[in-house]
């Protein structure tokens, strides 16, 4: 019996499988945690990138003299957020665009863009509250310039750019050749 116990004590077969059984769950947990942190960092960069894109979008629209409502800005931000390179999940994202409470600069609209994104949790059993990104960015959008003259020079689409629809000179009423193409 004593020799059996000595032989069992010195036998090292099967030790590695027990070590793997102890260490494998720890290693898998660490790998999943690294993936979760990577998802969080990607989402944080994506949210900041979307805020920058909507800021550039609004600057371009302002230069084209397009004045958008906050809901149109929200829709544009959502459409940017779900496309590459950002690929945020629309069900996890809320965007709120509102006029800032204080308007500090003349002829500039100050808007607040608040984005809230819940990062998908790949650890289904762990509910981490830190996986929510709340980001606010202020947008400064130039207002349309106020015209000094009182005449309306809005182009009406007839190709003349003079504000008339029939192709006549607004000052004299003579035909400028830019009127109805079918006549």
**Which secondary structure element, helix H or strand E, spans residue 137, and what is its range?**
strand 132-142
The per-residue pLDDT for 65 is 84
| pLDDT value of position 150 | 41
Choose among 114, 38, 115, 85: nearest CA to 30: 38
Residue by residue, DSSP assigns 62-128 as HHTT----HHHHHHHHHHHHTSTTT---GGGEEEEEEE-S---STTEEEEEEEEEEEPP-S-TT---
Exposure of 115 by Cβ count < 10 A (0-12 exposed, 13-18 middle, 19+ buried)?
A: buried
**pLDDT confidence of residue 169:** 52
Question: What's the pLDDT score for residue 9?
Answer: 76
Query: How many angstroms separate the CA atoms of 106 and 86, rounded?
Result: 34
In the chain, where are the structural domains located? 14-142
pLDDT of amino acid 173? 52
Query: What is the pLDDT at residue 158?
Result: 52
Q: What is the pLDDT along the chain (183 residues), one digit of tens a residue?
A: 678 878 777 777 778 888 889 999 999 989 988 998 999 999 999 999 999 999 999 888 888 888 888 999 999 999 999 999 999 999 999 999 998 888 888 888 899 999 999 998 887 767 666 689 999 999 888 776 433 344 444 445 555 554 444 555 555 555 544 444 444
């Amino acid at each position: 019996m004593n020799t059996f116990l000595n032989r069992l004590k010195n036998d090292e077969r099967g030790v590695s499988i027990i070590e793997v059984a102890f260490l494998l769950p720890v290693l898998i947990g660490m790998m999943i945690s690294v993936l979760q942190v990577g998802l969080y960092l990607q989402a944080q960069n994506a949210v900041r990138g979307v805020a920058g894109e909507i800021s550039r979008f609004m600057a371009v629209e302002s230069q084209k003299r397009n004045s958008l409502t906050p809901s149109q800005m929200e829709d544009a931000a959502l459409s940017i957020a779900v496309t590459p390179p950002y690929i945020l999940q629309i069900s996890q994202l809320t965007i709120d665009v509102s006029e800032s409470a204080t308007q500090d600069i003349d002829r500039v609209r100050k808007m607040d863009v608040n984005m809230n994104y819940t990062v998908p949790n790949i650890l289904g059993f762990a509910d981490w509250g830190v996986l929510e990104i709340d980001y606010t960015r202020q947008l400064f959008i130039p207002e349309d310039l106020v015209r000094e003259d009182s005449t309306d020079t809005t182009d009406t689409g007839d190709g003349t750019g003079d504000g008339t629809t029939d192709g006549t000179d607004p000052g004299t009423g003579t035909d400028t050749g830019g009127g109805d193409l079918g006549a």
